[in-house]
Amino acid sequence: MIIMIELRSTLLLGNQAIALAALASGVSVAAGYPGTPSTEIIETLMEYKDIYVEWSTNEKVAFETAYGAAISGARAMACMKHVGVNVASDSLVSSSYTGVDGALVIVSAGDPGMWSSQNEQDNRYYGLMALIPILEPYDPQSAHDFTVKAFEISSRVGHPVILNTTTRVSHVRAPVKTLPRSSPVKGSLRKRPDRYSLVPDVARRDRDLQLERWEKIKEELESLVVVSGSGRKAIVASGISYPYVKEVLEDWRLQDEVKLIGVFSPVPLPDKVGRELMDVEEVLVVEELEPIVENQLKSFVVDEGLHIRVQGKKLTGRSGEMTLNRVRLAISKFMGLNSEVLERHLQPNVPPRPPAMCPGCPHRSSFVFMKRGVILGGMKETFYSGDIGCYSLGVLPPFNVQDSLISMGSSIGIANGVYRSTGTIPVAVIGDSTFFHAGLSSLANAVYNNTPLLVVVLDNRSTAMTGQQPSPSENMDIARVAAGLGVEYVSVADPFSTDFSKAVANAISWVKVNKKPALLIAKRACALKAVEGFSERPLAFVNEDKCTGCTICYDHFTCPAIMRKANKKAHIDPRECIGCGACVPICPFNAILLKGEKPEGWDRAWLS
């Protein structure tokens, strides 16, 4: 029940709107793992000190934290990016069997177009698989409103609900009218093993109850269908595709010639959608990514024996995010219009500009010295098993040190497989936050099964890629953790020092002799975090008399602050340089120097 009082409109990111809606719904426990585009939800909630909010070590723990609270009667939320749901899925799928006493909302933030992700999987499939309803907002306002709705449905039915957002909802800023906060709904200790302990007898009973709740959920969702216009042709549009279709129909003044049905709960598809199609001959389904609504609608049409032609992915395409031009093209074909979709393409020659590691990023130095260390350790080549983080950028030239990267924590497990099939000692490269996220069990496996490999943990004390969130490495010493797991060779080195190469070489020599895993920690803070608060910094500059134009600093180290001059000599842009000094040991001719004193606390900020 919501009491409507006067609402203010504020310019908010979709993610901030979701956080404020959760507060308005009485959330008392929220947990997540940082991941674009979901991160700002937990960041916003962290400002509220009267509820419990945490960055968990991974999405599974975050989900279980929220679930534990919700089975105790609390209103709880777990937030993660779409691939994070894969990590949480073991518990998530079964949570639909037990249901919850309080309310449980899972925010899955997808990334169609893969702006910041390894895939663009459509998590609405989780709804179909786990029988968990999916609400699909289309802008910051609906993100707010559907979050409130998700909490309402979850607490009324006692079932988890997924809010499925995307980059273009979570990271869009627009005016939002928000509901005021309500008091947090907390839990109380209750013990119901007959419901919550899924041994086979309980699970079978829960399965029947799950299916009963599923029917109730369908009724709850009937109100989330919006219908306008009329005609023999209908367009069914789901989530963000609804406003895309709306804008195109308005631009072309076709609003009255076609029936438009907006769907905001694609799973389960409300029967109302099918009922609206009884006098329609042809349907176009517009949705991002997979044919979730399309296939449910086709199944409805067959079940009801209707003669309706349903088209979707064939006209809209299956990959990438929705755009106005894609929708224009699909609607023109569907409506048989002869509209010209813009084909005026200029094709200038533009060099690629992928993301780059920041000036002062310790990963750059780690990679340069790691490659030297591998050679120094007597290996002609190795397999660099990569992982997810800023250091994924090591896949690019000149580094080329991520021969695979597929999911959080996968580096060590994949390295095991590479060794078992090739006999080449691999190097697994993993960040500190990723190490605690999903690297621990694979490191235990390497010890357990005696995998000869070198694990290099790039410990920058931060979950940097998503915006320098804290990392467990702030509280836990990775060297002690590794030793505790039974890794016999553990060492720590500073990646800014040429000694880092020797540390890599020594570790590799040890692995060769002992046929067991070794672990080396490259310890230096994320540059963005280290230089915070220092107004006076040293500055690197090039002594042109010594610079020979050898190209090493700008072509093989590639700090964005180092430029190539017309005469091939190097120049350091003082506007970009942060004074870290990482480039000083890179120059074989000692032509790069630092000027200015290190401010008080500078080394501590980088190395502690």
Partner 1 sequence: MVKLNILICGIGGQGVVTTGKILAEAFSRRGFKVMEAETHGLAQRGGAVNVHVRIGDIEVPLIPEGGADYMIALEATELLRNINFLSKDAVIFVNAETKPSALPGQPMVDLNYILSFLKKWRTFVVDCRKISQSSGGYCNIAMLAYLFQFGLKELLDIEDILSAIPGTVNKRLFIETVSASQNYVVSGPAGI
Verify binding: residue 168, partner 1, rule CB under 8 A: yes
- State which of residues 1, 278, 342, 513 lies at the interface with partner 1 (CB under 8 A): 342
Cα separation, 253 vs 235, in Å, equals 15
CA-to-CA dists, residue 168 to 13, 53, 501, angstroms: 10, 25, 43
Site for partner 1 in 264-283 (CB under 8 A): none
* Binding window for partner 1 (CB under 8 A); candidates: 124-132, 236-244, 501-509, 533-541: 236-244
Find the binder of partner 1 among 390, 446, 518, 578 (CB under 8 A).
390
Assess contact for 573 and 536: CB atoms under 8 A: no
- 191 vs 575, beta carbon nearer partner 1: 575
166: which residues sit within 8 A by CB, 6+ positions away?
37, 109, 110, 111, 112, 239, 240, 288, 321
The nearer residue to partner 1, 39 or 316, going by C-beta atoms, is 39
**Residue 12 or 520 having the CB closest to partner 1:** 12
Minimum Å gap between C-beta 486 and partner 1 is 34
For residue 179, the minimal CB distance to partner 1 (Å) is 19
**Residue 533 binding partner 1, by CB under 8 A:** no
Whole-number minimum distance, CB 356 to partner 1, in Å?
A: 4
Tell me: does residue 532 bind partner 1 (CB under 8 A).
Answer: no
End-to-end Cα distance, the chain? 50
Q: Outline where DSSP puts E strands in 253-305.
A: 259-263, 282-286
Structure tokens at 8: 């203010």
Residue of 383, 554, 602, 606 that binds partner 1 (CB under 8 A): 554
Which runs of E-coded beta strand occur in 49-152? Answer: 52-55, 75-81, 103-110, 134-135
Find the helix or strand (DSSP H, E) in which 595 lies: strand 592-595
Closer of 151 and 391 to partner 1 (Cβ): 391
The rounded radius of gyration (Å) of the Cα atoms in the chain is: 27
User: Which residue in this structure is represented by tokens 């449910």?
Assistant: 296
Nearest to 137 by CA among 104, 109, 115, 113: 109
Residue 547 assigned ligand-binding role = yes
Q: Which stretch binds partner 1 (CB under 8 A): 187-195, 243-251, 293-301, 420-428?
A: 243-251
Q: Is 247 in the site for partner 1 (CB under 8 A)?
A: yes
- Backbone φ and ψ for 346, nearest 5 degrees, come out as -85, 145
Note whether 586 binds partner 1 by CB under 8 A.
Answer: no
Helix (H, G, I), strand (E, B) or coil at 550: coil
Shortest separation between residue 35's beta carbon and partner 1, angstroms: 8
Q: Does 608 bind partner 1 (CB under 8 A)?
A: no
Does residue 580 have a known ligand-binding role? yes
Measured between alpha carbons, how far is 145 from 14 in angstroms, rounded to an integer? 11
C-alpha angle 92-94-99 in degrees, rounded to nearest 5: 90
Q: How far apart are CA 100 and CA 432, in angstroms?
A: 34
Pairing status of strand 225-228 against strand 259-263: antiparallel
Contact letters (x/-) for partner 1, 449-488, by CB under 8 A?
Answer: ----------------xxx---------------------
Place of tokens 């409103």: 145
State yes or no: residue 136 binds partner 1 (CB under 8 A).
Answer: no
Grouping H, G, I as helix, E, B as strand and the rest as coil, residue 449 is coil
Residues 393-412 that bind partner 1 (CB under 8 A): 393, 396-398
The stretch among 119-127, 337-345, 583-591, 596-604 that binds partner 1 (CB under 8 A) is: 337-345
- 327 token code pair: 């929708």
Contact residue for partner 1 among 7, 11, 211, 226 (CB under 8 A): 11
* Binding footprint of partner 1 on the chain (CB under 8 A): 11, 13, 36-37, 39, 115-116, 139, 168, 171-175, 240, 243-244, 246-247, 250, 321-325, 328, 342, 344-346, 348-358, 390, 392-393, 396-398, 465-467, 554-556, 558, 560, 563-564, 575
Annotated binding site: which residue ranges?
547, 550, 553, 559, 577, 580, 583, 587
